Amino acid sequence: MGIITQQSYNINPVLAKHSMNQSPRKFTKGVLFSGAIVATAALHLFGPMWCHAVHAALKDSPKAVVDEAWQIVNHEYVDGSFNHVDWQVVRQQLLSKNYTSKEQAYTALRAALKQLGDPYTRFMDPKQYQALTNQTSGELSGVGIRLELDEKTKNISIVEPIENSPAFKAGIKPGDWLVAIDGKPTKGMTLEQASALIRGEVGTPVSLKLSRKEKGEFDVQLTRAQIELASVRYSLKQEGKLKIGYIRFSEFSSHAATQMNRAIKDLTNQQANAFVLDMRENPGGLLHASIEIARMWMDNGAIVRTVDRLGDSEEFKANHTAISKLPLAVLVDGNSASASEILTGALKDNRRATVVGSQTFGKALVQSVHSLSDGSGLAVTIAHYFTPNGTDIGHKGVTPDVKIDLTEDQQKQLLSNPALVATQNDPQYERAIAVLEKTNLAQANSNQSVPSLSSR
């Protein structure tokens, strides 16, 4: 079982490791969004109805996966009334149908889940579930390049090679054109088709034909590897008299906490005076990652409280392990969701940071993600969460301390030219710097007002 905190529109949620405080029982192997990955066992999910006769009748039938999913929802779903739907009748309806294919069963299951009125409780076919699990680890198997399709020419180019990846080590550069993959021309391919050809098992070879202005066409032989994806990017910025440790945080993957720890320590060693934590466009991910990262900024105080369908709650707190106590500003927007909102709410309610930007997305639910016996998967909402002050941000979001919305033109400008993000052309970043300058000045004045021992 695992825990999810992620915005609904993102089909590839990210997960974290965490164990929820639940009544003792066993589950199918799964993952919790907003939070955790927990191993479980499918057999124990099924109650008295799951007798040997029924098991034999459903074995290797599409109905087996349908009933697996039904059982998980029956035991786990946060709303015990199932949105006022008779869930036992739903099971009877699902098992009374004759499915001629898995796809038919998947369609029926999706229709049944839709009755719950919860967009976060959803079924994933094997391909969708595999895509999710690939991302939850914060790793991928491939050569480590980001691709872009030119809408006019329909050519595929390299946006950037991932640091320390096979592509990076082979000298592939941003702007290189991808001409062919293992001899297959990429002209007319979609990004998905090209990516599928490049991906593969670790240790297997792939040949890329590239084109570079000053070099022309050339071949690169690569060996696929397991690559850690960067959730955290950072740099030291000189803003007036302040040295700002700028941290761009894109998702709460399983490597996010380690990467954040490294960023804070490195920027501190570079003599940063203050930090900007940019979580704009961060859709969330692992609950455990959000708790770990909150503890890097907070020495004391509550971080988040979760409540399951039985009313049982669990509160997570800081544990005196903060890495930095320097002034902190957090940037958020309408696409900052789930685990992002947990971290933002914790830092805001504990007055550890000043939150700057737009109202956040407003996802206050926790999901568990389970693998099913045929390789498909199920995400099911299992709990609500509340900020340290007891605020339910569902459908409302976290309100910034300093609210500043970007105009449509400003959004387009930053989207079309990412190099302008976190510069004087980024109004939200500029406001965060102004906040930190004011905080730094106030702290300096406070320190000056305290008489030294020699003057007493």
pLDDT of 310-348, one tens digit each?
999 999 999 999 999 999 999 999 999 999 999 999 999
Condensed to tens digits (0 to 9), the pLDDT of residues 233-262 reads 999 999 999 999 999 999 998 999 999 999
> Would you say residue 28 has pLDDT above 50?
no
More confident residue, 445 or 9: 445
> Would you say residue 228 has pLDDT above 70?
yes
Which pLDDT belongs to residue 59? 57
Q: What percent of the chain has pLDDT over 90?
A: 73
Which pLDDT belongs to residue 44? 28
**Cα four-point dihedral sign 261, 262, 263, 266:** positive
Tokens of 209: 């034909």
159 and 113 assigned to the same domain: no
In a domain, 376, yes or no: no
Which residues, at least 6 apart from 375, have a Cβ–Cβ distance to it below 8 Å?
126, 129, 130
Considering the candidates 336, 349, 371, 426, report the single residue annotated as catalytic: 349
How many whole angstroms separate alpha carbon 184 and alpha carbon 150?
19
401 and 344 assigned to the same domain: yes
306 and 390 assigned to the same domain: yes
Which pLDDT belongs to residue 449? 57
350 and 438 assigned to the same domain: yes
Q: Pick the last residue of a domain from 174, 195, 228.
A: 228
217 and 273 assigned to the same domain: no
Whether 338 is catalytic is yes
CB atoms within 10 A of CB 233: 14
Tokens of 286: 């692992």
Considering only 114-118, 150-154, 422-426, which range has the smallest mean pLDDT?
150-154
Q: Give this prediction's pTM.
A: 0.81
Bridge partners, residue 142, by sequence: 225
> Would you say residue 3 has pLDDT above 70?
no
H or E segment and range at residue 315: strand 313-317
How many whole angstroms separate alpha carbon 68 and alpha carbon 55?
11
How many whole angstroms separate alpha carbon 350 and alpha carbon 333?
20
Q: Residue 56 belongs to what domain range?
A: 4-136
Q: Pick the last residue of a domain from 104, 136, 168.
A: 136
Q: Are 25 and 75 in contact (CB under 8 A)?
A: yes
109 and 198 assigned to the same domain: no
301 and 432 assigned to the same domain: yes
> What is the CATH classification number for the domain harbouring 440?
3.90.226.10
Which pLDDT belongs to residue 141? 84
How many whole angstroms separate alpha carbon 58 and alpha carbon 378?
19
In a domain, 451, yes or no: no
In a domain, 88, yes or no: yes
Whether 187 is catalytic is no
Q: Tell me the residue type at 251.
A: E
In a domain, 120, yes or no: yes
In a domain, 378, yes or no: no
**Number of domains observed in the structure of the chain:** 3
Considering the candidates 250, 253, 338, 358, report the single residue annotated as catalytic: 338
CB atoms within 10 A of CB 126: 15
> What is the CATH classification number for the domain harbouring 63?
3.30.750.44
How many whole angstroms separate alpha carbon 360 and alpha carbon 358?
6
Whether 349 is catalytic is yes
In a domain, 454, yes or no: no
In a domain, 76, yes or no: yes
Which phi-psi region, left, alpha or beta, contains residue 4 (left: φ > 0; alpha: ψ -120 to 50)? beta
As a residue count, the chain comes to: 456
Q: Pick the last residue of a domain from 228, 258, 278.
A: 228
- Strand intervals (E) in 213-287: 216-223, 225-228, 232-239, 242-249, 274-278, 284-286
More confident residue, 449 or 24: 449
CB atoms within 10 A of CB 25: 10
353 and 405 assigned to the same domain: yes
422 and 310 assigned to the same domain: yes
Q: What percent of the chain has pLDDT over 70?
A: 84
In a domain, 316, yes or no: yes
322 and 300 assigned to the same domain: yes
Considering the candidates 363, 371, 376, 426, report the single residue annotated as catalytic: 363
97 and 187 assigned to the same domain: no
How many whole angstroms separate alpha carbon 244 and alpha carbon 275?
5
272 and 398 assigned to the same domain: yes
> What is the CATH classification number for the domain harbouring 150?
2.30.42.10
